Structure formats: structure tokens, C-alpha cells
Structure 1
Amino acid sequence: MRLIGSLTSPYVRKVRIVLAEKKLDYELILDDPWGPATQLAAHNPLGKVPCLILDENVSLFDSRVIVEYLDTLSPVGRLIPPPGRERVTVKHWEAVADGIMDAAAAAFLELHRRPEGVRSPDLAARQDTKITAALAYMDALLGEQPYCMGVNLCLADIAVGAALAYLDLRTPDLGWRDQHANLARLAEKLDARPSFMSTRPPAA
């Protein structure tokens, strides 16, 4: 398998953490979706990372699709429960975490990638409101549990950990740990795992 992605994308990192937890071999192909030499168009019509190439004619894209596929490849460390209420809850956690990534990425692009004369601080502030609400929601939902779904690591934790690390990368002054002790405790535990350590993004 070949994974097209970037080192700073939280969606790519989520996939890479799953690959590490599942002990699956792959080749990482670095690509800048914003650059003129991007290879993505040949494999993903949406031009987004991550993109997992299975063979010359088959590729998967969107991190949620990719991680679901990867979890079926090995019984080692199953990360997604069988169909049912528990599975829906895990995917619910992932959706909220991905929403934080979406909002943080949108705010970053608005303030740092758009030409200075057309940037909208109001649009970026709206994304910050989403992030603040989602953090409070997840912190309350996590409570005193060791992990999102209780005592075992699952996809929910990986998605949340990737989202929180992306906030540290793009909004280091946010100070989310000060108001969300439950999430801070979870992040500290996840950051110590080899799968998180080996996929840590470079400093902004």
C-alpha cells in the first residue's frame, strides 16, 4: 500500500496512527496538495489528502473511509466495533474530532493562505467558535474515563488525539488544556504511545 499525504495534515496523521497500531506496512509518499507538482489528481479527483493507493486502478480517499478499510486488514488491535450502538458511538466521536480538524484547517487557510486583502477574520472567528464548542462537548463526554469508549483504545481516541495535536500545531496560543482537563489527560496518555510519537508533525 502507498499513502499519499503530508506531514502536517491531521487526517493523514489519523490514518498513519491506525496503520501503526494495526502494524501494517506501507509507503508514505509526501505530496503538497497546494503545489503545482501534486500527484493527487491522478488518484483522487477531489485533490485531497490522504489517499491510499491499493493498486494501479484502485485508490481510497477520505480518512474515514481509509481507516475503516484498514481496520479490516488485520485482527490485531481492532479499533472499530462491529455494527451496532457502540460502533455508531465511535464514529460519532470521530465525526466531532474531524469537525475540529475541519474548523482549524479552515481558519488557518483563511488567515495564512488567502491573499491578505481578502482575508476574513470574522470567518476565522466563526471556526474558532466551533472548535470551542466541540472541545467542551468532548471533554464532558469523556469525563473520567481512561479512553473515549471506556478502558480500551479505539478509533475515537486516535481521531481525538490527532485533532488535539493539530490545534497545538496551528493554534498554539489557544490554551485548550487549561479548560479541558479530561482531554488534556487523554492527550498526554496518547502522546506517549509509539504510534503517536512516530507520526508527530514537524513544528509549524
Structure 2
Amino acid sequence: MTWRCRNRAEHGNCPDSGYGNLEHIEARVVDWLRQQADPANPSRGREIAEARAGLVMREVAVQAKLKKLISQEDALADAVASRVIDYQSAQRKKERIDQRRTELNTKLEELKSARAKLRPHPGSAAIAAVLAAWDDATPDRRNLMIKDIVRVITVNKGRGIALENKYEITAVWEPLGHSIEEALSTAGSDRGRSNDGAVDAENRDR
């Protein structure tokens, strides 16, 4: 059995693609899985876990700021009712709160998107379990077994080249087309920004 690019089969065009032999592909996958299952093999799993945890902490911080805006709106309404601040000043402050809420919601979506790009590492034990069941599994079953481990297998052109060069494997915990740092950079940074959209209702803006 051979594999080839779906684009070539359907559209007749697949630049830089090559044909893949199933037996060779599976041999390459097994070798790669063994490397990933080896506890002594350096992995980016911890780095990714730390990056995901950092993103979660930033999401929580943004959510806290959004909650704080609600309190500010309540305080502003009380100030208007008590005539501590006039309506026009209150309206300007409300507009600033709304603008800050929009900024924070945008930031929250960026953080969630960045975290979605960093899928967690399954752990060496889970990969070892796949290897233990490999020999008794059908090709279709093997595909299911590695779906949470292997993101994509790239088949490069050329004959007689080493399998590790012929078949390049990208793990699911490696952002496709991005480094971890690039995935994180899409979420930007909150550093240096101390203004939470804080609006002190007692701070008169007249």
C-alpha cells in the first residue's frame, strides 16, 4: 500500500510531495514513538505544560479585570444617583469602561486561541501503551491509537533516503507551522499595562 497527497489525487497538484509506503511509514512511526516514550529523551512536554499554565493564569487575570469593570459600573450608577457626579461626566466614564471591556474581551479570546494551539503532551506512559498494543492492531486501529500523539506525517521526495528524512513526524503538542514562542506571541503581553480601565466614581470629571 502506498500513500500520496490528496491534493494530487483530487486536483493533480501537490508541490514537493512524495509517495509513502505504509510499511515504511509504520516503521518510522514506531521508531519515533519509542523515542518519545523514552523517559530519558528530552521532550518539550514540560515546556508546553508551563506555557499552557501561564496562559490559564493570564486568562484568570483578564476575567478578574472584567469582573472589576462590573463593580465600577455599579459604583458609577450609585454616584450618579447620589449626584456625586453629573450625567455627562458619568457618560464619559461609562464609555471608557466599555472601551476597556472590549479590549479585555479581545485579549481573552487571543489567550484562549493561543492555548488551543498548545495541546498537552500525553506523557511517556501513554505512548508506551500505544507501542505495547501496536503489533496486534490493524492499520485503521493504529491510526486511531496515534491520533492524539501524531499531528501530521510529511512525506518528502526521494528514494533510498533514511526513513527519518523521508517521513517527518510532527507531534500534536508541536504547534503546526509555529514554534511554541510564536504561538504564545499571538496572545501578546499584558506587561507594562497597569490601567484596568479603573474608573473612580469619586474622581470627578467635570
TM-score, L = length of structure 2: 0.27
